[in-house]
A = this chain, B = another copy of it.
Amino acid sequence: MKKQNDGERVEGLSIAYIGGGSRGWAHTLMIGLALEERLSGAVRLFDIDFESARVNAAIGNRLHDRPDAKGKWRYEAVKTIGEALTGADFVVLSILPGTFTEMHSDVHTPEKYGVYQSVGDTVGPGGAVRALRTIPIYAGFAESIRKYCPDAWVINYTNPMTLCTRTLYETFPQVKAFGCCHEVFGTQEDVAEMLRRFRGIEGVDRGEIHTNVMGVNHFTWIDRINYKGEDLMPFYREVAEKHAAEGFCRESETNWMNSYFTSMNRVKFDLLRRYGLVAAAGDRHLAEFMPPWYLKDPETAAKWKFSLTPVDWRIAERKKQDERQTRLVEGREDLELRQTGEEGVLQIMALLGLGDLVTNVNIPNIGQIEGLPPGAVVETNALFSRDSVRPVYAGRLPGDVQSLVMRHVLNQENLLRASFAGDRRLALNAFAGDPLLSGLDIAQIEALFGEMTRNTKAYLPEWCVAS
């Protein structure tokens, strides 16, 4: 069935979901699509674990006949990426590069060297090694997209977001890809809740909090917060100052001590005090981009009121998710169709011409951030309209923030170059440039890199692994 677009609704849309066995974001997408009555079509799920994709297909198809599902979709698990991509209008990329075994090494091996990470999937030693695993996979995706659906729009959700997106463009420069991340939305939600709690303004939607965003994914900075006619930066600064010690989180969020995903924004408030801008990602991400000021050890992290997410917890969590998958497939549990305003669906609609949208997105720098290198994947606002994503000029970071961001931009570019060239020396130098390793000397850094690459060699290119 060919896509039909009458300007009000689109039928017969074709979406390829690579990594379609996912237990998390797959549901979010299914729910988002089911809630949107103006779209319908088919989703083809591809995963190297075919069975997981098959389970998700079954779950998705259960939605079709539910009366509360306004968008009607068919889900199908396919065995090759080519089947998934052929004819796709949109491609969703959301994979786990490697397994929890590799992730365990990414996150915990550095601890033997006194280096702690709260997430370990973006920068830091864990992010770097994960990138070395991911780049070749994404180069492959780009080749497949070039071959099977060169005109499709590609939405990436995988971390490290910046390098995944960058790899797509490096391999296939004409690719229509962008990276989509929810961290900035969290900051907007914080502001909405601050307005409620400290000003008594109820019902503010995060979409009403307009921010100007610049930086790289998970290390974006906001220099403007507008709400209706008001500049909210002074208000935010005031809240941040007053709550510098105890911190702040939304009521909906679990207490940070019981949650590996919540924080109290104390790192964010401290960065605001030091650098003058609002860093728009969770503290767990932000801390990893800085020298180990906030991540010296678990006690320091606890003092700043955020957690280090242990991979063992993720493994336990996965078990629960698997059980839930079974319940969902067997109909013992149903997906709850609750409006989330899922950005991915809004972006798809805008790209189909169903309404312009300005939102933050990760794409190559073509001048939207002055002072960062052209071609580097950066995060700013962009205008989404029919078949186009155009960055909105965001400005120039203050010199001290630019310096923090540039360091990662160049490290990431070096990881990319190293990966494409198979240049272990360059990979090591990029690894060594990460600020989280500031306290190690070069011999320790070399030993750590050796150990981490050996630990994860099953999923790494050969040149990368120390003999």
CB of B410 within 8 A of CB of A399, answer yes
Q: Which residue of B lies closest to A427 (CB)?
A: B400
A393 lies within 8 A of B367 (CB): yes
Which chain A residues in 32-65 approach chain B with CB under 8 Å?
none
- Which residues A350-367 have CB closer than 8 A to chain B? 352-354, 356, 358, 366-367
Q: Are B5 and A425 in contact (CB under 8 A)?
A: no
- A6's nearest neighbour on chain B, judged by CB, is B229
Indicate the member of A388, A391, A399, A441 with the most B CB atoms within 10 Å.
A399
A280 CB → nearest B CB, Å: 17
Is B442 touching A439 in the complex (CB atoms < 8 A)?
A: no
Please determine whether B274 and A429 come into contact, CB atoms closer than 8 angstroms.
Answer: yes
A229 touches B402 (CB 8 A): no
- Stretch from A148-156, A179-187, A329-337, A368-376 forming part of the interface with B: A368-376
Bound CA–CA A368/B393 (angstroms): 8
A226 touches B383 (CB 8 A): no
A206 to nearest B CB, angstroms? 15
Binary contact readout A79-98 vs B (1 if CB under 8 angstroms, 0 otherwise): 00000000000000000000
Are B403 and A441 in touch, CB under 8 angstroms?
no
Q: Is the CB of A5 within 8 A of B390?
A: no
Among A123-131, A170-178, A289-297, the stretch in contact with B: A289-297
Interface assignment of A68: CB less than 8 Å from any CB of chain B? no
Q: Which B residues lie within 8 Å of A229 (CB)?
A: 5-7, 10, 352-354, 386
Decide yes or no whether A227 CB sits under 8 A from chain B.
Answer: yes
Which stretch, A69-77, A240-248, A255-263, A411-419, touches the partner chain B? A411-419
